[in-house]
Structure 1
Amino acid sequence: MHWDFHTRVLLVLVAVLCSLIASLSAALLAYVTGRGGLQAVGWSAGTFAGSMTLSLSVLTILLS
């Protein structure tokens, strides 16, 4: 099945927003558990990168 350009853009936007929510929750959890601010940012960045990688991999498989 061929998806049009607008559908692909919206799916990538949903993936970015879900990754942002996951990274913000990871940063909040890291900060609440007593870690420093820099470690919370590190956890947030790692979570964002991991979830974006997984999301884009799944979208690549589904949209091909």
Structure 2
Amino acid sequence: MTEPSNIQQELLRRISEANRHLQFYKLESDDQGRLLLDRTNPHHREWVEHDDAYERIDETETT
């Protein structure tokens, strides 16, 4: 196997550095594995309001 070139090594270093600054958090899910989003969280709200590709539990299920 050949060693990565200097360009590849530099890209990997930059990606690794950028990943250190990311903050990840775990989303809660229901019994069926559906992600539960919080409308008060601005990041979740954008996803809920602008993504019609996913069904919304509150619209499809009645309690």
Query: Do both proteins adopt the same fold according to a TM-score greater than 0.5, normalized to the shorter chain?
Result: no
Using CA pairs under 8 Å that are at least 6 residues apart, name the structure with larger relative contact order, 1 or 2: 1
TM-score by length of 1: 0.31
Give the structure with the larger helix fraction.
1
